[in-house]
Amino acid sequence: MHNPALTLGLAMAIGMGAQVLAQHIRIPGIVLLLAFGVLFGPDMLNWIQPESLGESLHIIVGFAVAIILFEGGMNLKLKRIRRERRSIQGLITLGALITFLGGTLCAKIFLGWDWRMAILFGTLVIVTGPTVISPLLKRVRVHHSVSVILEAEGILLDAIGAIIAVVALEVAISPSGLSFVLGIWHIVTRLFIGTLFGLGGGFIMSLLLKQRKLVPEGLENVFILSWVFALFQISNSTSPESGIAAVTIAGLVLGNSKTYIHRELLEFKEQLTVLMIGMLFVILAADVRLVEIQALGWGGLLTVFVLMFFIRPLSVFSSTATSSLNAKQKILISWIAPRGIVAAAVASLFAFELDIHGFEGSQLRALVFLVIIITVLFAGFTGGWAASALSLKRKKESGWILLGAHGVARLLARILIKSGQDVVCIDEDPRACQLAENEGIKVFYGNALDERVLQRAEPDTRKGLIALSENEEVNFIFSQRTKYFEKKLIILTGIKNKSDGITQDMLTEIGARVPFGQEADMEQWSRWLQKKTVRIHPYAFNGADEKHRLTDPEMVNMLLPLMLRRDKKVEPIDNLYEARKKDRVYFLINQQKKEEALAWLNENGWK
């Protein structure tokens, strides 16, 4: 088993298996990653042997951290950061300083460590973990301002904190006694150099991706990946450990630039990040011995609890004193502060370097992993409860997004709103938007294919969307993009003709359904609605056929089934609908074909 290639292969497979299992049993993925690292590590099954990787472990960790932080930077939106900049600035400056001092004093007082080791521990616990916070926030769905602050703090502090920690290590092990002042100078210069490389690299990457024919189709993702690795190492070669800041800033620049493959690139990086996180946590957890954690005793536990319940609230409330955050938001930010992969990676580097220079580094690494384990378990299992108790948890699956604010869309919106559901319409026709507002419907004016407009509608909190614009190609593209943001959404995509243009088979491929159970020309039906040549009527199903569907070609331009009321719930009709006894459906009936419509309804069991 003492095989580095086998260790890497098994770590990847076990890491992904742990995350898949965590999704099914609905617990934070990092919990199982840490558990599997211990289970398959030298303390138990001995399948994963980190020592077989030797010095190459730190190279592997470096590349993986580069991918993780680059992807994290891409997810940071400057507009959101600007709105909460006062809180974010406070947390990454004053908050980080308070955490550093608190961690140092805790290690000194409760564990009796010398100042050298205590200070190193203080620098390591500055960072929070975006690799833990981001999945947690997706699951918990806290208030927007809180989630933006937590994600920005985690990503930015990972880059800053890692550089501070590495410089502190250099000061601690320097045989010539590297001075404190010189250490501060090293921190500033490395952040500056990393920022310069990040800005330059991010600008070049975004410029290259804006030229459609420059990078051949299909090579864009791996092209950017290679640039990220190169940028990371070039920056590190120029100034040690500045690469972390460089890739974070480069991701921030590229993520806020409009490129033609932005979504595909982000999705590729997310998948790669999941793979890297799984592999790293399994390997790094296997590298820590249980006996080392047990040796910390009550002093170790006391250190962690003081950090969580005293130092963290003190740093948050002090650093956000002049911000617009209220007390509940500050409490929730104080509550959620898990440490993640960067803290684990840097702690492993510390242990390696300290051992080489004749210092005991295993206890430092063990204490950092104890902090990671307890803070992750605490945030993962109580974060949702805390958000609910503080009334800061966003409602899940609350209402619908409607693409279009024409007559039919407004009619659907009014029915849904009357049933107590939250609805938002998106349209770039100012007159349609004005009519929707006059009818008490929430509406966003703008191009629905613009990511910023779509995000304002909060697709991650919605039950579903109904794409009803008069252009079925726009409906299809909008459905695809919204599905990317929230894969669990119910998608209804309007089409004009089953055989031409956008087909039902194309909709099935993206997991979409057909609204009204049939093709429908929204421009025509809206015009009829405006001229009052169509009217809405509720009908109850009393037929005997439980498998009856509303997909009869005779209904086209004669009947438009809008909404279903079943067991006090109101939902849009789609092509999967099967009628049941006592179902009540709202039909829009073409008055010019009223007799044929009524005859069809009576024949098919509708009264």
Confidence at residue 101, expressed as pLDDT on a 0 to 100 scale: 94
Instruction: Tell me the HSE value of 600 on the side-chain side, using a 13 A CA sphere.
Output: 20
Q: Report the distance separating Cα 320 and Cα 152, nearest Å.
A: 14
Q: What is the pLDDT of residues 61-114, one digit of tens each?
A: 888 888 888 888 887 777 777 778 888 889 989 999 999 999 999 999 999 998
Partners of 587 in the β-ladder:
537, 561
Render pLDDT for 3-27 as a digit per residue (tens, 0 to 9).
888 999 999 999 999 989 988 887 7
Domain 400-603: give its CATH code. Answer: 3.40.50.720
The domain segmentation of the chain, as residue ranges, is 4-178+189-389, 400-603
pLDDT at 176 over 60: no
Rounded Cα gap, residues 418 and 588, in angstroms: 17
Nearest one of 348, 352, 349 to 369, comparing CA atoms: 348
Q: Are 399 and 424 in contact (CB under 8 A)?
A: yes
Kindly report the average pLDDT of the chain as a whole number: 83
The residues, any chain, with a CB within 8 Å of residue 239's CB and separated by 6 or more, are 189, 190, 193, 194
> How is residue 554 written in tokens?
């005779």
Q: Which positions ≥6 away from 599 have C-beta within 8 Å? A: none
- Contact between residue 161 and residue 127 where contact means Cβ atoms under 8 Å apart: yes
Rg (CA), the chain: 28
* % of residues, the chain, pLDDT over 70: 93
pTM equals 0.71
- Facing residues of 541 across strands? 606
The CATH class that applies to domain 4-178+189-389 reads: mainly alpha
CA angle 270-273-276, nearest 5°?
160
Give the pLDDT of residue 546.
Answer: 58
- From CA 607, how far away is CA 602, in angstroms rounded? 6
Amino acid (1-letter code) at residue 427 = D
Predicted pLDDT of residue 547: 57
pLDDT, tens digit (0-9, with 9 covering 90-100), for 400-443: 889 888 888 999 999 888 888 888 899 888 888 888 888 888 88
Element (H, E) at 336: none
Decide: 462 and 400 in contact? Cβ < 8 Å: yes
Q: Tokens representing 564?
A: 């279903």
Tokens of 407: 């007559």
Tokens of 75: 């997810």
CA gap 411, 141 in Å, rounded: 30
- Strands 584-590 and 442-445 come out as unpaired
Q: Which residues pair with 538 in a beta bridge?
A: 586
